[in-house]
Structure 1
Amino acid sequence: MDNNQKGLFFLGIFLAIGLSIAGYFISQTIYNSKVALNTAEAKGLAERRVRADTANWDLVFSVSGKAKAELPDLYAEAEKRQKIIIEMLKEKGFEENEIEIGVIDYYPEEYRDENQNLVDQKHNLVGSITVNTHKVDLVAKVRADVNTLIARGIDIENRAPVYLFTKLNDIKPDMLREATKNARLAANEFAQNAGVTVGGIRSARQGSFYIKDAGNSYGDTEKIEKDVRVVTTITFYLTD
């Protein structure tokens, strides 16, 4: 065999080896691509009905007078009303450490005519009391009793309580398990129609937890009953 023939012989061998190697990588790439495409993405929903465990409730009271000289008497009256409200809250079942006493603020008002002459004035003292408690049902009950203070001549603003659910971490694990289970059920529905089987999890994305007042599409502080919701998005492998 001359040199030209030898060269062509070895060239043919190298070409064959190169093509076989290239073919392996191409087929492997196609295989991996096929595996990557054999997946199904499904969403899983979990919901819980819970009760608020914390309430923040503000009561605002005020006294007013015409003459600035009356301010000392007005402050004395404001402190008296403050004490009456606190005593009522304690009688109804709230503890001292659940009652926060705010400052008594002074707000003067002046009324002038078209020539800017002072024609009248008013001196207002406004105080606040906040109840921070885990006794959410008691707050709902005592709110109605506050109106009896109005009959006693106390100018009081009975503000709507803010009801909060603060124990989300206690229910998160169970809700995520339920959402994952529901996602797999959804993936199984798809797999049955496609004639394949759902395998392991390729990836998972947890959505945010949402807390809303029960029965409402918005708002999360007005009701004691709350709805907690989470949606997970999970990609499953599919097998024949």
Structure 2
Amino acid sequence: MKNLRLEAALIMVGLILLGFFIQQGLNTFAAKDRTVTVKGLAEMEVQADKVIWPLVYKNLGDNLNTLYDDIKQNNQTIVQFLKEQGIDEKEISVNAPEIIDMKAERYSGDRNSSYRYNVTSVITVNSNKTDLVRKLISEQGELLKRGVAITSGDYRYNVVYEYTSLNKIKPQMIEEATRNAREAAEKFAKDSESRLGKIKKASQGQFSISDRDPNTPYIKNVRVVTTIDYLLEE
């Protein structure tokens, strides 16, 4: 009888200890899964380091030979002007002219035009000298004195500014975004009466580059958002 009681007591103690260890294991397992997910934002304004500037002009006429001579002369005038102002020849591209025969154009609403041919010519500047090109854009009226009228308003030929040096600022921006994310995580841990642990998982996120505003497309806003999972400790 005593043996049965002893065995029962031992079984009871064993069950209690088993329950205790299971509970401790569950608590430890739950603690391992306690995380907080935060996002860190970093933004920076930079100036564009590349510009594509299309100079567009038009010629009207009836004689293709005469138009060819006029276009050739206009191209030379524009290229000469650009070189004088500091643009390298390798930064200048002369495109083939686009010719519309007004008499043959099926959908033209200007069949009664006094000129048969409408020619659009484009010379493109592709340069890293963004400040210089911006200055020339504001002074392109100088070409009027040389007999060339630069046109605008064609959506196909807009000035484009780009920022190509993202790799130079990536480390700095990622560091800032990570720091901002950690600050948010530390605030959360403090409010939840926990301590912030190690990083469980991190995602750098994608960089985006956009115009700061419509009026200054040569100033870019670079943005990155990092997502980080931190462990929380008691």
Shorter-chain TM range is 0.7 to 0.9
Contact 2:204 2:227 in 1 (8 A): yes
**1:55-94 paired onto structure 2 within 5 Å:** 55-65=51-61, 67=62, 70-94=63-87
> What stretches of structure 2 of length at least 5 have no aligned partner?
106-110
* CA distance in 2 between partners of 1:111 and 1:148 (Å): 35
Deviates more, 1:174-183 or 1:143-152: 143-152
Structure 1 stretches of at least 4 aligned residues deviating more than 6 Å after TM superposition: 12-23
Q: Which residue of 2 aligns with 1:206?
A: 204
Q: Which residue of 1 aligns with 2:41?
A: 45
TM-score of the aligned structures, taking structure 2 as reference length? 0.81
Contact 2:31 2:232 in 1 (8 A): no
Amino acid at match of 2:173: M
Q: Which residue of 1 aligns with 2:108?
A: none
| Alignment partner of 1:187 is 2:185 | yes
Contact 1:211 1:228 in 2 (8 A): yes
| Alignment partner of 1:155 is 2:149 | yes
Contact 1:160 1:222 in 2 (8 A): no
Cα deviation for residue 42 of structure 1 reads 1.4
Q: Assess, with a 3 A threshold, how the Cα gap between structure 1 residues 161 and 63 changes in structure 2: closer, same or farther.
A: same
| Alignment partner of 1:235 is 2:229 | yes
Contact 1:191 1:238 in 2 (8 A): yes
SS of the aligned residue for 1:28 comes to: helix
Contact 1:163 1:222 in 2 (8 A): no
Q: Which residue of 1 aligns with 2:92?
A: 99
Contact 1:48 1:227 in 2 (8 A): yes
SS of the aligned residue for 2:200 comes to: strand
> What stretches of structure 1 of length at least 5 have no aligned partner?
113-117
* CA distance in 2 between partners of 1:202 and 1:33 (Å): 15
Amino acid at match of 2:227: T
Amino acid at match of 2:193: G
Q: Assess, with a 3 A threshold, how the Cα gap between structure 1 residues 55 and 179 changes in structure 2: closer, same or farther.
A: same
Cα deviation for residue 119 of structure 1 reads 5.4
Residue deviations 1:47-93 (CA, integer Å, cap 9, x gap): 1111111000101122111x3xx211110011000100000000111
SS of the aligned residue for 1:146 comes to: coil
* CA distance in 2 between partners of 1:192 and 1:18 (Å): 38
Q: Which residue of 2 aligns with 1:146?
A: 140
* CA distance in 2 between partners of 1:131 and 1:104 (Å): 16
What root-mean-square deviation, in Å, do the aligned CA atoms of Structure 1 and Structure 2 show? 3.0
TM-score of the aligned structures, taking structure 1 as reference length? 0.79
**1:18-29 paired onto structure 2 within 5 Å:** 24=21, 27-29=24-26
Contact 2:31 2:233 in 1 (8 A): no
Q: Which residue of 2 aligns with 1:175?
A: 173
* CA distance in 1 between partners of 2:112 and 2:210 (Å): 50
Q: Which has the higher strand share?
A: 1
SS of the aligned residue for 2:203 comes to: strand
| Alignment partner of 1:127 is 2:121 | yes
SS of the aligned residue for 1:110 comes to: coil
* CA distance in 1 between partners of 2:187 and 2:203 (Å): 20
Residue deviations 1:140-187 (CA, integer Å, cap 9, x gap): 000122112234442322554211001111111121111111111111
Aligned length: 222
SS of the aligned residue for 1:157 comes to: coil
